[in-house]
């Protein structure tokens, strides 16, 4: 299957797991869903990090995971809000809970690389909004992450002291009222200043979420970027 076109509807499997055996003391276990790519593996890995809406609309992220899996990647969806007992993120708590969510995703990655049928040296992270900020932070601290796709995520403060970043694709709408597009340019400038590889696409008229041709283009760019760096 051509990974440049993210086509939904492929067969998939979900395995709910516990990260308990991989967490450091004090890090709660979380559920991780697995969506398998068609055919025999090992397949490259994509970790999909949801946004501040959490899994209150579970079909939204499951559909995204199935779409990515259909393009030839094994996708894992960590329920990282379980680490703080949240269903959705409160805006005023993003800063205080960010380290706990980052730790939960780091622990989840430890479990993911121990799963059967995955290419442990080919790992990408796709993050949406809050998940995009977490994807960037995870990349900065874990060299196993080889690619990041940041869908309209913000620039987390933890990034300013970081010294390494995986190749990163930034996708943002110039009419985003929740995470202003200035974040996209700030992330690009910071990563390039640290010697990072960055691609950026800004969609005119798009807000916090893409529709129509922009959505299709973003999916195509995501698949192509992941294929180049971890495929």
pLDDT at 160: 86
Residue 23, pLDDT > 90, answer no
For the chain, give the mean pLDDT: 88
User: Phi and psi for 198 in degrees, rounded to 5?
Assistant: -135, 135
Q: Which pLDDT score, from 0 to 100, does residue 28 have? A: 63
CB distance 207 to 101 below 8 Å: no
> For residue 79, is pLDDT > 70?
yes
Between 51 and 20, whose confidence is greater? 51
Mean pLDDT in residue range 208-215: 96
Q: Does domain 17-230 have CATH number 3.30.70.890?
A: no
Would you list the domain boundaries of the chain?
Answer: 17-230
Decide if pLDDT at 77 tops 50.
yes
Q: What are the distances in angstroms from CA 35 to CA 47, 53, 71, 182?
A: 10, 21, 11, 34
The pLDDT tens digits for 38-68 are 988 799 999 999 999 999 887 889 999 999 9
pLDDT in tens, 160-202: 888 889 999 999 999 999 999 999 999 999 999 999 999 999 9
Q: Residue ranges of the alpha helices (H) in 84-230?
A: 94-112, 130-141, 182-193, 212-230
* pLDDT given at position 26: 53
């Amino acid at each position: 299957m051509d990974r440049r076109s993210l086509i939904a509807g492929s067969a998939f499997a979900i395995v709910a797991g516990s990260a308990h055996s991989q967490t450091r003391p004090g890090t709660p276990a979380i559920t991780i869903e697995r969506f398998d790519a068609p055919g025999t593996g090992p397949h490259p890995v994509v970790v999909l990090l949801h946004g501040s809406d959490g899994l209150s609309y579970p079909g939204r992220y499951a559909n995204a995971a199935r779409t990515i899996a259909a393009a030839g990647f094994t996708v894992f969806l960590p329920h990282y809000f379980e680490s703080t007992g949240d269903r959705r993120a409160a805006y005023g708590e993003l800063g205080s809970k960010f380290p706990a969510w980052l730790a939960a995703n780091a622990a989840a990655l430890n479990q993911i690389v121990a799963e059967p049928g995955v290419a442990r040296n080919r790992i990408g992270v796709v993050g949406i909004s809050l998940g995009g900020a977490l994807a960037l932070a995870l990349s900065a601290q874990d060299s196993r992450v080889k690619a990041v796709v940041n869908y309209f995520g913000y620039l987390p403060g933890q990034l300013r002291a970081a010294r390494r970043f995986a190749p990163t694709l930034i996708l943002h709408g110039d009419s985003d009222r929740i995470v202003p597009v200035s974040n996209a340019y700030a992330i690009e400038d910071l990563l390039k200043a640290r010697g990072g590889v960055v691609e950026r696409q800004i969609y005119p008229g798009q807000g916090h979420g893409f529709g129509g041709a922009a959505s299709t283009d973003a999916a195509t760019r995501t698949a192509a970027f992941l294929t180049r760096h971890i495929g």
